[in-house]
Structure 1
Amino acid sequence: MAPSFENFQRRRLISSYFSVVLSIFLVLFLLGALGLFVIHSEKISNSFKEDIPMSVYFNDEANDTILKAFETKLKGSPFVKDFVFVSKEDAAKNNKDIVGEDFLEFLGMNPLPNSFDIHLKSEYVESSKIKQIESDIKTNEMVTEVIYDKKLVELANENIKKISFWILVISSVFGVISMLLINSSLRLSVYSNRFIIKTMQMVGATKSFIRKPFVWRSIRLGLIGSGLAIIALIALTFYVDGMFPKLGIAKDYLSMFIILGGVLAVGIIITWISTYVATTRFLNLRTDDLY
């Protein structure tokens, strides 16, 4: 009968440990993933802004010298991230690939102009700055038209500010919830040992002596949960980096160190504080209150 009871107690203890580690792992993983998103939110928004193209079209009188001079000007412009020259012939070929028909056959001429597709640096993708750039480009008499999605630029800047604000709010709320969940799991774990705590106290053990093994056990569980969360976060980082290599998330070692170090620190600190408070509470309870 005794071995059966001991096995039951052992299984219950393992189940309790497993639930605590699982809670710590899930909470810290979600918190770390949110932290990665917050840290790299500026990169994400900048990448989106820099993907908005500006097309500059030239009239047919613009010769190679004029086009080369404009290209040289773009290379020296602080607002240009990159650009591509699209010749009349390339534009016709691209149109043929999209439409599936060669319009040159029945038109007998190529009406498409030479153009430059420009991607601006993110800090210049704002309504006031991009209008100034547009005005500057239009001072060139050979430029017939400058086209970019004005509405998309406005929406990008407005929504990015809103999203950044709500991310900070959600992060704060989630951080509090995370601490409460881990604290609850650890308190339940200590609660299951409340009679052992009180028995040790009744036979003369000091509070610090009773508290110490519980605190160290919780810290070990916190380390295991944090370690699993760190492994999962590293895997997530490399997965996202493979999906969006332009962001260079996996190569941002400082951000990775901050997030992973933060996850480890939170796992240790919360488990230590929660267990310390929980054991102190049961140590201060009267025996009748344990029931």
Structure 2
Amino acid sequence: MSSSFDKFQKRRLISSYFSVVLSIFLVLFLLGTLGLFIINSKKLADDFKEKIAMTVFFKNEANDTILKNFGAELKKAPYAKSITYVSKDAAAKQHTDIIGEDFLTFLGENPLQNSYDIHIKAAYVEKDSVAKIEQKLRTNPMISDIVYDKQLVNLVNDNIRKVSMWILIISGFLTFIAVLLINSSLRLSIYSNRFIIKTMQMVGATKSFIRKPFVMRSIKLGMLGAALAILALIGLLSYVNAHFPEFGIVEDKTLIILVFAAVFGFGVLITWLSTHFATQRFLNLRTDDLY
């Protein structure tokens, strides 16, 4: 009879530990996924910004020397991410490939101009910054026109600000929910041991002595849950990188390691604090209140 009861108690204890570890794992995995999304969302936004091209057209009077010197200056410019020279012959070929007909046969001459496609660094893709770059380039007398999508620049920056604000709000909300879920799981675990806590207190054990084994056990469970969450996050990163390598989500390993460290640290911190205060609550209760 005693053996059956001991087995039942052992199974209940294992089940309690499993539920705590599972809840910690799921919550930390979601938070870690959110953290990885946040650090990569900036990279994705920057990549999108840097795909917006500014095209600089040159007058026909601009010779090869002028064009080469301009290209050399652009390579030294702090705002230039990449530059591509497009000759008017190459531009004519591109137009012919697009429309499917050689328009030069109708016109008799090439009306297009030599140009440079400039992809600006993300930090400079702002309304004021791009306007200053355009103004500076227009001081070159050999430049006939500068073309880029001004509305797209404004739209991208406005939407990125809105998305960033909502990401911060959602992150804060999910973090609050995560704390509540982990805290509730640990409080239930401590609640099932409330009589043991009070019995130890009644025989003269100090509060710190009683609290220590519960805190240490919870920290170990938190570490286990965090370790499982990190392994799951590594699997998620590997899957996304294998199927979408163009995102380059594993390039910045330092930030990824920081996210993993934050997940592990959060798992340990929240389990320690929750167990400390939950145990303290039952230590301060009167014996009659336990029922």
Structure 1 length-normalised TM? 0.86
Tell me the equivalent position of 2:267. Answer: 267
Tell me the equivalent position of 2:55. Answer: 55
Tell me the equivalent position of 2:231. Answer: 231
Determine helix, strand or coil for the equivalent of 1:83. strand
Tell me the equivalent position of 2:174. Answer: 174
Moved more, 218-227 or 57-66: 57-66
- The verdict on how the C-alpha distance between 1:119 and 1:244 changes in structure 2, with shifts beyond 3 A counting, is farther
Tell me the equivalent position of 1:92. Answer: 92
Shift of residue 231 of structure 1? 1.9
- The verdict on how the C-alpha distance between 1:10 and 1:46 changes in structure 2, with shifts beyond 3 A counting, is same
Tell me the equivalent position of 1:132. Answer: 132
Residues 247-286 of structure 1 correspond to what in structure 2 (within 5 A)? 249-286=249-286
Shift of residue 39 of structure 1? 4.1
Shift of residue 261 of structure 1? 1.8
CA distance in 1, matches of 2:102, 2:192: 79
Tell me the equivalent position of 1:154. Answer: 154
Shift of residue 220 of structure 1? 0.9
Shift of residue 102 of structure 1? 4.3
CA distance in 1, matches of 2:6, 2:100: 77
- The verdict on how the C-alpha distance between 1:111 and 1:5 changes in structure 2, with shifts beyond 3 A counting, is farther
Give structure 2 stretches of 5+ with no counterpart.
none
**Are 2:80 and 2:118, in contact at CA under 8 Å, matched by a contact in 1?**
yes
CA distance in 2, matches of 1:100, 1:13: 74
CA distance in 1, matches of 2:208, 2:124: 60
- Please list the CA deviations of residues 170-219 of structure 1 after superposition, one character each: whole Å capped at 9, or x if unmatched: 33333222212111110011112223333444444443333222211111
Tell me the equivalent position of 1:11. Answer: 11
Moved more, 71-80 or 101-110: 101-110
CA distance in 2, matches of 1:98, 1:239: 37
- The verdict on how the C-alpha distance between 1:205 and 1:225 changes in structure 2, with shifts beyond 3 A counting, is same
- Please list the CA deviations of residues 6-60 of structure 1 after superposition, one character each: whole Å capped at 9, or x if unmatched: 4433333222212211111122222223333444554343322212111122344
Q: How many residue pairs were aligned?
A: 290
- Check if 1:117 corresponds to 2:108: no
CA distance in 1, matches of 2:15, 2:103: 72
> Match for 2:177: what amino acid?
I
Moved more, 15-24 or 92-101: 92-101
Determine helix, strand or coil for the equivalent of 1:78. coil
Moved more, 223-232 or 157-166: 157-166
> Match for 1:95: what amino acid?
H
- The verdict on how the C-alpha distance between 1:238 and 1:102 changes in structure 2, with shifts beyond 3 A counting, is farther
- The verdict on how the C-alpha distance between 1:246 and 1:118 changes in structure 2, with shifts beyond 3 A counting, is farther
Shift of residue 271 of structure 1? 0.7
Determine helix, strand or coil for the equivalent of 1:55. strand
CA distance in 1, matches of 2:91, 2:18: 62
Moved more, 272-281 or 134-143: 134-143
Determine helix, strand or coil for the equivalent of 1:112. coil
**Are 2:44 and 2:247, in contact at CA under 8 Å, matched by a contact in 1?**
no
CA distance in 1, matches of 2:238, 2:88: 41
- Please list the CA deviations of residues 236-278 of structure 1 after superposition, one character each: whole Å capped at 9, or x if unmatched: 445555636575x534343233322222121111111111211
CA distance in 1, matches of 2:208, 2:125: 60
Moved more, 18-27 or 29-38: 29-38
CA distance in 1, matches of 2:221, 2:146: 61
- The verdict on how the C-alpha distance between 1:12 and 1:139 changes in structure 2, with shifts beyond 3 A counting, is same
Tell me the equivalent position of 1:183. Answer: 183
Give structure 1 stretches of 5+ with no counterpart.
none
CA distance in 1, matches of 2:185, 2:278: 11
> Match for 2:12: what amino acid?
R
Structure 2 length-normalised TM? 0.86
Determine helix, strand or coil for the equivalent of 1:250. coil
- Check if 1:33 corresponds to 2:33: yes
Shift of residue 152 of structure 1? 1.2
